[in-house]
């Protein structure tokens, strides 16, 4: 049954967000009339428009659709935390008594009473949740997913679960409540506390979102609160880097499996014989905590030891909701990643590469750059980085500088503000001053494009990194580097 059937009209404030757009697609696919506002036109909003969702870009109540204005009691308004408090449309909808719910609240509604796999963590959750969804889908198991990125395999951030009618035809005897739904459980603003999963993964509990939490202890407490919401008989998969107190918070009867690359890191779930072979990582899954399973011959075509860890957790979660170990090797080998997660944009054999990555926390950047260094030993590396949020830049300037200094040259762009107003004294320069790379520069996006256009070929590996709108540079940089490396005919 559709849990929001009483709302034939749905209006999204911030429809272009990656999580919001997945919800918008779900509502439209389930017969609702959907509209939205966003501040900026992007490829994602253009895709939604092509799918039949009307979007406008001016904050003006008069632009609200007539159906929304005339049917208050039948309209659900979905709100992203990125909408500023002085937003005029939001104010008008509040003043007129509309049912306004956060994205996380709606996600909680849609997963209530469903078999849920929730992937949480200050980094790694988008990749890991996409892995779980892919493994289930590739194996032909009925499943749904709301993802925080565009899965290359699925071509979307949404995997629609089968309807009751589809189940009756294809999987008789299986109810919609038994079909697993994979969700990215976002810790920002404690959003993930709307979820009650059967299987939970916590990939990391590193300090982040200190504008919301104040300090790391408060952040870790929210992960403990999340762990307390795992359903009786459920399972928590906990990364070895996560705070150990999260394991102690689970309700009685909930199993905890700790995972990592080695036996010491992951006594319940770990790898054996893990090694890189080109861009592919080969390993064996060893799970003393899961039927003492041993699955050899796994080949993950997405580089990075952190992604091997992510796949370990994803494989265990998928197994817990129905994936057989026998089908795992083929499904792992077919995984192609998430857009902007260790994405190879242009390569020239083993000589040169342009990569793009969403990393926006010092730990993520370090993991990404160390993996790039391992793939291209001895190559000169240039990184173009766009800091995300003034508060995060202020809180982690030292960490950003330390991780970025793994590159031979760092180009820093201005801070992407997202939901925040500028903070006095907080600019990209506070990272710049602490960088120890041999070469560094502070440039605008336009200047960065021009610099790459006229740069010599001294740098064999180029990477764009960040979670703001740095992805807008990718098409032009791709064109420039393809022309340099392959000639104008490319």
Q: Which residues are annotated as a binding site for ATP?
A: 121-127
CB-count exposure of residue 173 (10 Å: 0-12, 13-18, 19+): exposed
CB-count exposure of residue 84 (10 Å: 0-12, 13-18, 19+): exposed
**Cα Rg for the chain, rounded, in angstroms?**
23
d(CA 369, CA 347): 17
Annotated binding residues, written as ranges, equal 121-127
Nearest alpha carbon to residue 300 among 150, 134, 183, 149: 134
d(CA 411, CA 402): 14
Buried b (16+ CB within 10 A) or exposed e, 344-353: ebbeeeeebb
Nearest alpha carbon to residue 107 among 20, 46, 172, 41: 20
Q: Residue 329 phi/psi, 5° resolution?
A: -55, -45
Structure token digits, residue 300: 């993950």
Q: Are 375 and 280 in contact (CB under 8 A)?
A: no
CA distances from 97 to 78, 224, 459 (A): 14, 35, 57
Kindly report the number of other CB atoms within 10 A of residue 140's CB atom.
10
| Gap between the terminal Cα atoms of the chain | 51
Q: Is 311 helix (H, G, I), strand (E, B) or coil?
A: helix
128 CB-near residues (< 8 Å, 6+ apart): 119, 121, 201, 203, 310, 313, 314
H or E element: which one contains 247?
Answer: helix 245-248
Q: Residue 202 phi/psi, 5° resolution?
A: -120, 110
What are 183's strand-pairing partners?
A: 118, 146
Q: Are 485 and 479 in contact (CB under 8 A)?
A: no
């Amino acid at each position: 049954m559709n849990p929001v059937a009483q709302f034939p009209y749905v209006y999204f404030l911030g429809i272009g967000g990656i999580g919001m757009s997945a919800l918008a697609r779900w509502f439209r696919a389930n017969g609702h009339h959907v509209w939205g506002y966003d501040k900026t036109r992007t490829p994602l909003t253009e895709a939604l428009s092509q799918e039949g969702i009307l979007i406008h870009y001016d904050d003006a109540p008069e632009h609200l659709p007539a159906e929304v204005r005339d049917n208050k009691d039948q309209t659900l308004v979905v709100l992203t935390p990125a909408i500023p408090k002085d937003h005029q449309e939001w104010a008008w909808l509040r003043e007129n008594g509309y049912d306004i719910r956060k994205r996380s609240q709606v996600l909680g509604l849609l997963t209530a009473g469903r078999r849920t796999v929730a992937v949480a963590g200050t980094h790694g959750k988008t990749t890991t949740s996409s892995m779980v969804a892919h493994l289930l889908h590739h194996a032909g198991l009925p499943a749904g997913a709301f993802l925080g990125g565009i899965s290359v395999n699925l071509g979307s951030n949404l995997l629609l679960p089968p309807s009751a009618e589809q189940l009756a035809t294809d999987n008789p005897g299986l109810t919609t409540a038994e079909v697993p739904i994979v969700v990215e459980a976002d810790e920002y603003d404690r959003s993930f506390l709307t979820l009650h999963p059967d299987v939970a993964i916590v990939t990391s509990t590193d300090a982040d979102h200190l504008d919301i939490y104040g300090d790391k202890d408060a952040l870790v407490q929210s992960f403990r609160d999340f762990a307390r919401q795992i359903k009786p008989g459920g399972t928590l998969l906990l990364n070895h880097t996560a705070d150990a107190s999260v394991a102690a918070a689970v309700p009685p009867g909930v199993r905890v499996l700790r995972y990592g690359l080695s036996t010491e890191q992951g006594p319940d779930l770990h790898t054996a014989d893990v090694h890189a072979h080109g861009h592919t990582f080969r390993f064996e899954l060893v799970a003393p905590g899961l039927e003492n399973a041993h699955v050899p011959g796994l080949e993950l075509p997405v580089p990075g030891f952190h992604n091997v860890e992510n796949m370990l957790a994803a494989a265990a979660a998928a197994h817990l909701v129905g994936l057989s170990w026998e089908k795992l090797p083929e499904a792992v080998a077919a995984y192609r990643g998430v857009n902007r997660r260790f994405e190879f944009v242009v390569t020239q054999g083993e000589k040169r590469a342009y990569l793009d990555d969403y990393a926006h926390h010092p730990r993520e950047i370090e993991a990404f750059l160390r993996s790039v260094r391992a793939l291209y030993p001895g190559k000169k590396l240039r990184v173009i980085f766009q800091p995300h949020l003034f508060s995060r830049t202020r809180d982690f300037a030292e960490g950003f500088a330390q991780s970025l200094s793994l590159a031979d040259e760092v180009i820093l762009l201005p801070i992407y503000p997202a939901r925040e107003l500028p903070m006095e004294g907080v600019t990209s320069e506070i990272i710049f001053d602490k960088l120890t790379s041999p070469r560094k520069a502070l440039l605008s996006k336009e200047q960065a494009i021009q610099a790459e256009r006229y740069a010599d070929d001294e740098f064999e590996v180029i990477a764009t990194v960040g979670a703001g709108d740095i992805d807008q540079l990718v098409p032009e940089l791709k064109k420039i580097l393809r022309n340099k490396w392959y000639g104008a005919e490319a």
